[in-house]
Structures are given as structure tokens and as C-alpha cells.
Amino acid sequence: MRRTPLAVATAASLLLTGCADDAATAPSAGDGKITVAASDTACQVAKAEAAAGTVTFTVANKGAKVTEFYVYATGDRVMGEVENIAPGLSRELIVELTAGRYETACKPGMIGKGIRNGFTVTGSSAPLTEDAKLAQATADYQRYVKSQTGALIEKTTEFVDAVKKGEADKAKALFPVARTYWERIEPVAEIFGDLDPAIDGREDGLEPGQEFTGYHRIEKDLWQTGDISKSGPIADKLLVDVQKIVDLANSTPLSPLQLANGAKELLDEVATGKITGEEDRYSHTDLWDFAANVEGSKAAIAALRPTLEEKDPALVTTLDEKFAAVVASLEKHRAGDGWKLHNTLSEADLKQLSDDINALAEPISKVAGLVAGK
Amino acid sequence: MIGLAGAGVAGLAATGGALALSRAEQPRPEPVAGFGDAVEFYGVRQAGIVTPAQDRLHFVAFDVITGKKAELLAMLEAWTAAAARMTAGLDAGTIGAVGGIPEAPPDDTGEAIGLPPSGLTLTIGFGPGLFRDATGRDRFGIASKKPEALADLPHFPGDTIDPKISGGDICVQACAHDPQVAVHAVRNLARIGMGVVSVRWSQLGFGRTSSTSTGQVTARNLFGFKDGTANLKAEETQLLDEHLWVRDGDGPAWMTGGSYLVSRKVRMLVETWDRTPLGEQETIIGRTKGSGAPLTGKDEFDEPDFTVKKDDAPVIALDSHVRLAHHSQNQGARMLRRGYNYVDGSDGLGRLDAGLFFISYQRDPHRQFVPVQKALARTDALNEYIRHVSSGVFACPPGLLAADDHWGRVLLS
């Protein structure tokens, strides 16, 4: 069974899209919704500006690849996003925007910087106080968590379905994709103690008598033993556990300090688990996790950006540079819509990635102190 | 601080005494005074060269991973400030290991809290790769300032050099009487340098094998022999000017008053050595094992006489280490040696991974280290028991005179 809330939302958007195409030219008729025609090669946003306040985008995926749609403020601060829009479907994005310049992006294949367009919001909005900026940061990030967890449930459900149907190739293809949404928000998941090991634990981390469950257990079944005929119950439990953690993540308020530490912890994850290939030791899909950790770290820092720009603009510049350097190094190892396998990278490749992560993680470790020392 | 320093001296003296009773006739002289004291960071020469050799070493070589000169200069400035602080026994940063807010990571790593300066010296050197990288690129526009003396060392017969633990764009030699103090210094510099430099390799040394002052007793290497009896000493200022310090006109001006460092990690096959009869060991070295006297003399500091024969054969064999390495056999070439013993665990074949981390300072490696090593590599009887596994050459500029100067400023700006 597919989970109802999202399915209903999707259906609703589809119906709305039908009449939204004309509405774009007559904003009053369609509640001011802005249509976005997304394909594998184009991202046509019907309007390039809007008045400050609530802005609604209706994104129709007319391409063959799954796409995503983002609204970014400066420094790729995610103001709003919809993940995982399958071909033929439409989704709505409702976002609160103050006056300023933004960018929209469609990401066919869910990779890279995407197809960008400028977007201007006019009107007046009062500058935020420091506390308000931090409150805004946590609200922004919470929204990011919500969108990631939505996609996490969808992709994990597809993964679990494939495992239970014995479709090994399909399951193998979905494994790193489902994990992407997990890895982007992993520090949030780690707040909830015993669920994280059940979902993401590795075999050597188990205590005597503890059962090996979660993504990596199925990874082992898929890649090492090659037998998923008995993996059904593990797969069911994975989905139950993921749903539990998603519910907790979306109902637990985060503090700005948790964002700052989360950004650092995600890079620690890269440094300790992904560079070494420990995380996905059977599938060697560590670079998917690597990229997702970096994206998640970037999202947390982007949410804190207004605060950081005020307190230490030079640090913001450094972080922008170092994030770009990590992304550039990682891009060398792209393979199609995904990544090369960890065990095909040379020692020199890994050292380069390690150096780039260290260069980013040291300045990022300063963010928590800045946020706390307001 | 004083209490700790005193305890350190007492502890060492006690250990020395115990060793002396069981292993040698003559008592060990008192160690050089003030094991806990600070060594001045600023001066005409960099500290850590003629400074009486401390007991412990942490040597590190870095690759420079940025292409931006400004970033490199800023890091060297930050390093200099941290080095001045740490050699004085202070935390690496101004906030300190425990002085900051709980939410922020400390700017010092903390393992030296409560330890005295322990004679810490930090000596910097610049490798050939800083001037032209592996692809021949002049990253920082300083290729024209590269001294000829900094040319790569040649391959010597029998070398089994591992490139992964060799070379480097920048080296830092950290020496101290307390290993924790030396490691703390290297670790904090590596942390400060992240994004600009990356640790290429590093080496711990636990016992000095050379004396660089006439006030120091000659120490022993892991073959059990005194090492560096004929070393240059801090007090021999005329010899130092001739053999150690780079003179005006030798090369680019930025190196005048500095010295060149050669590092060689020499694995010792101690297990086979230990099965060698005493007489054969002494013949291979050319000195007695007990006093360190040349086989032609009675006391350690007697000059070896390479002409003396017994039964038509030279008493100090033609292929003995002391003959091949001695300055009288090498057109007067001398060096200041500053090596350390090392044991890097074991090698998986039931043997200690042990040896000598050789360091020498000289005015020109290609006139001093290279000819001596060529002679040794060809015929040294010791070669059966050693393997050279790592190699490095670095240009160590003169010292900094005051806190408004920093490492690399003259070379890079």
C-alpha cells in the first residue's frame, strides 16, 4: 500500500495543474500560482517575479527523468523545495518569500546544480532581528527536513517493495537513491537513539544477541549473499522504523546549535565512514552517501547564512569556497546520474577528497561557537 | 611547572643510573640542565639545529594543497604565532584548550595541558616541490628562488625508497624532551594548516642518536653503538660556519644563514644484527661497542688512524662504516647529524620495524651528504643490516628575529 497523504497531495496537484496552465497568465484566476514546466532539458517558470508573501509554484514534470524543484536565496539557501517529482506528475510548492533576489532550479535526474532561473520578489519586508534570523534558520531547516523525509519514505517504500518482490536489480538501483535522503539529514535521525542503529547500523557495530537489520542488512543480502528471498521481514521492519523516525523528526523542534553541529557532524560522517568505504562495504555506493552528507551539511549552513553573514562574513566566503572545492572534487567521480563505486577510486583520489573535507570541516567547526556566542 | 620539570630530570637521571650500573663502566653524565625549560624561538638561527639535541622527535612533511599564495602566507603566519606560543609552553591559540565557550571547539588540542615547554623546538624547511610541483608548475612564482643545493637527492645503490613516506613541500622538525609536547606541536600545526597543507608523512623518534653539543654524552643507536662521535658540535663555531650555515653568495639570499636538512629513514634489520658476533659488529662499525673508541684508539674521541695495519690488513677495515663516513676520507665533508631511533611497531613477520631516522644539516647536501652516502651505499659492510626506506631534502631558512616576521615571508612575499 502506498502511504496515503502524499498520494492524495499528488493527485490534488495533478487536478490543479490541469487548469493552472492558463492561470499563469491570469494570476487572479488561479490564486496567483506560478506554473513551472519541467523537462529533462528545460525549466520554464511562467513568471520571473512575484510580490512578497506566500508564493505558490505548480511544477509539472514533462520529462522522462524524476525531477526536483527548488527556490534558493543567496548561497543556495533553500527557501523551499519539492523532491522526487516522477515523470508525468505535478507537485505544488508553497513558500514564504520576503523581498529580494532568488533563484529557481529544476533538477532533472535529481543531480547537480540544476537548471537555474532568476526570480525577484518585490515589496517591503522589515530586516530580521538576530533572534528572528535564528528562528527563521530553524524553520527553514525544518522545512528541508520535511521535504527530505517525504522523499525518504517514498524511495524506501519503493526499495522495500522491490526487495519483497525479489527484484534484486531494481532494489540495487534504489538502494543508494533511498539512502541519499537519509544521509542528508542523518544527524537529525541520530537524535533518536536506538532507531538509528536499527535503520543504519553495520554488522560489526552490533552487540551480542542484537539482530542485524536495516539498510545495510539488505545491502549484504543483495550484494554479498545474493539471496533476498528471506529479506521480506527485514524490509518491512525497515519501513516501519523509517516511518517512526520520520514522524519524530518532523515533530521535534531543532535548535540553531543543532543545525550548526549537524553541519559539522555530516562532514565527520564523510571523513570517518565514507572516505574509507566502511559505510557501504558490500555495494561500494559510498559516494552517494558522501554527496548526500555534503548536501545536507550545505543546507544546514545555508539556513544559518543570514546569521553568519552578520557575525563573520569572511567565514561565509571561506565556506562557499570550500563547499565548491568539495563538490568539484566529487564531480570528477560522477558516473551517469550517480557515482563511481568506492572501490574504483585510487588512493590519490581518496586523499584529495579527504583533504577537501578537512579543509571544509575545520572552518565549519567554528559555526557552532558563532551561533552560540550571540 | 618547575615541579614537573624537576621530576622529569630526576626521573631521567634515575633511569640513566640504572642503565649505567648494568651496562657500562663509566657513569652517564648529568643530562643538559633544564629539561623542562623553554628554548628561545626567535634568533639569528632557527632553533632545533645546534640546540643540544632533545630526547624526542616528531618529524612531519606536508604537501601544499592550495594554489593560492595568499592562503599559504596566511597559514605560515598563523603557524609562526602558534609555534612561538607552543615553544614557550603556551596553548597553540590565544583562547586555549579550555578557555573558550562550551559550544565551540577549542583552539588548542589540550594534551600538553600542565606540561612544561620541555625544550620544544620547531624547525621549518621548504622542499623542492614548493618551487616546482610534480608537474613542473611554478605554483607560487618562486621557481627562480630555488637554490641549486635543494636539488633532489640522487638514487643511491641499494635504495628502497617509498615515495609515500618521502619528500614533501614543507617539513617541520619538532624536538622536545617530552614526546607528548612534540606530538602536540605537530598536531596543532597540522590542524591549523588544513585546507592549505595536508600531512604527507610523519615520523616519531624516541631516542636521540647524536649529540650536537660537547656537553652531551654520545647516545647509542639501535645497533647498540655510539652514533655521531665525530659530529659537528654547537661549540665548534668555525667548523659550523664552514660546514653548516649557508653563506652569503652560496645561493639565493633568502637562505643565507640557514641550513639544508637531509632526512633518511634507515630500517635496521636488528634481528640478524643481534646474531652477529661482537668482534664482527665492531669490525663492521670500526669502533668498539663499549666505549665507542676507534679500533685504533682507546677513548671515544681518539681520532681514528686509518693507516694502521695488523697482519697486513687495515685495523679499521676498508668497508667499515666509520672509515667510509669519516670526513678525512670524504674531502673534509662534515655534517651536523641530529637523528633519532624509531620503532614503528612490528612488520608482521615477527620482527620489529625499527631503525634510525637520520637527519643531517649541512651547507650543501650535494657536497656533503651525497658524496658520503655514495661511498657508504657502494661498500659499507653495514648495508647487509640496513635499508634506506625514506628520503627528503629541505631548505631551512635562517631564524626569525622578532614577532613581526613570520616563516616564509622573505621567500614568498
Residues of chain B above pLDDT 90, percent = 85
Q: Which pLDDT score is estimated for A11? A: 35
Same domain? B293 vs B371: yes
Res A17 pLDDT > 90: no
Same domain? B118 vs B180: yes
Domain assignments of chain A as residue spans, ordered by start: 4-126, 140-372
Res A24 pLDDT > 50: no
Cell of B18: 640504572
Residues in Cβ contact with B320 at an 8 Å cutoff, skipping those fewer than 6 apart: B283, B284, B285, B286, B381
- Longest CA–CA separation in chain B, Å: 78
Q: Which pLDDT score is estimated for A31? A: 65
Cell of A372: 552560540
What mean pLDDT comes out for the span A192-197? 79
**Interchain contact, A359 vs B65, CB within 8 Å:** yes
Same domain? B153 vs B273: yes
Residues of chain A above pLDDT 90, percent = 60
The total of structural domains in chain B comes to 2
Average pLDDT, chain B: 91
d(CA A154, CA B159): 59
Listed as own residue / partner, the contacts of B155-164 with beta carbons closer than 8 Å and 24 or more positions apart are B156/B373, B156/B374, B156/B377, B156/B388, B157/B377, B157/B378, B158/B377, B158/B383, B158/B387, B158/B388, B159/B377, B159/B388, B159/B391, B160/B387, B160/B388, B160/B389, B161/B388, B161/B389, B161/B390, B161/B391, B162/B389, B162/B390, B164/B200, B164/B201
Least confident of A248-257, B31-40, B168-177: B31-40
**What are the tens digits of pLDDT across the range B151-163?**
999 999 999 999 9
Asked whether B359 and B339 are in contact (CB, 8 A), the reply is yes
Identify the band that residue A28 occupies on the pLDDT scale cut at 50, 70 and 90: very low
Q: Which pLDDT score is estimated for B351? A: 95
Q: Which pLDDT score is estimated for B197? A: 98
d(CA A160, CA A175): 9
Tell me the nearest-neighbour CA distance from A330 into chain B, angstroms. 16
What mean pLDDT comes out for the span A301-320? 94
Least confident of A97-111, A245-259, B11-25, B366-380: B11-25
Q: Which pLDDT score is estimated for A372? A: 83
Which one of A257, A322, A355 has the shortest CB-CB distance to B103?
Answer: A257
Q: Which pLDDT score is estimated for A111? A: 75
Q: Which pLDDT score is estimated for A127? A: 62
Angstrom CA distances, B360 to A122, A247, B214, stand at 69, 65, 17
Flag whether residue A329 sits within 8 Å of chain B, measured between CB atoms: no
Res A308 pLDDT > 90: yes
Res B15 pLDDT > 80: no
Asked whether B110 and B97 are in contact (CB, 8 A), the reply is yes
Same domain? B154 vs B17: no
Our CA dihedral for B63, B69, B74, B78, rounded to 10 degrees, sits at: 30
Res B28 pLDDT > 60: no
d(CA B393, CA B167): 7
Residues in Cβ contact with B274 at an 8 Å cutoff, skipping those fewer than 6 apart: none
Same domain? B210 vs B328: yes
Angstrom CA distances, A120 to A31, A50, A73, B308, stand at 19, 7, 10, 94
Q: Which pLDDT score is estimated for A5? A: 37
Same domain? B341 vs B192: yes
Same domain? B310 vs B401: yes
d(CA B209, CA B292): 13
Asked whether B325 and B304 are in contact (CB, 8 A), the reply is no
**Interchain contact, A369 vs B103, CB within 8 Å:** yes
3-state secondary structure of B57: strand
A140-372 maps to CATH 3.40.50.1860: no
What mean pLDDT comes out for the span B249-278? 97
Least confident of A365-374, B37-46, B72-81: A365-374
Domain that holds residue B240: 37-412
Same domain? B257 vs B346: yes
**Residue of chain B whose Cα is closest to the Cα of A369:** B104
Would you give the DSSP letter of residue B208?
Answer: E
Identify the band that residue A126 occupies on the pLDDT scale cut at 50, 70 and 90: low
Which chain B residues have a beta carbon less than 8 Å from that of A312?
none
Q: Which pLDDT score is estimated for A13? A: 35
**Cα angle, residue B58 at apex, residues B53 and B63 outer, rounded to 5°:** 125
Identify the band that residue A129 occupies on the pLDDT scale cut at 50, 70 and 90: confident
**What are the tens digits of pLDDT across the range B284-305?**
999 999 999 999 999 999 999 9
Res A6 pLDDT > 60: no
**Interchain contact, A358 vs B194, CB within 8 Å:** yes
Flag whether residue B195 sits within 8 Å of chain A, measured between CB atoms: yes
Res A112 pLDDT > 80: no
Res B183 pLDDT > 90: yes
**What are the tens digits of pLDDT across the range A148-181?**
999 999 999 999 999 999 999 999 999 999 999 9
Flag whether residue B106 sits within 8 Å of chain A, measured between CB atoms: no
Residues of chain B above pLDDT 70, percent = 92
Identify the band that residue B19 occupies on the pLDDT scale cut at 50, 70 and 90: very low
Shortest CA distance to A217 belongs to which of A208, A230, A174? A230
Res B9 pLDDT > 80: no
In the CATH hierarchy, which fold is given to the domain comprising A4-126? Immunoglobulin-like (2.60.40)
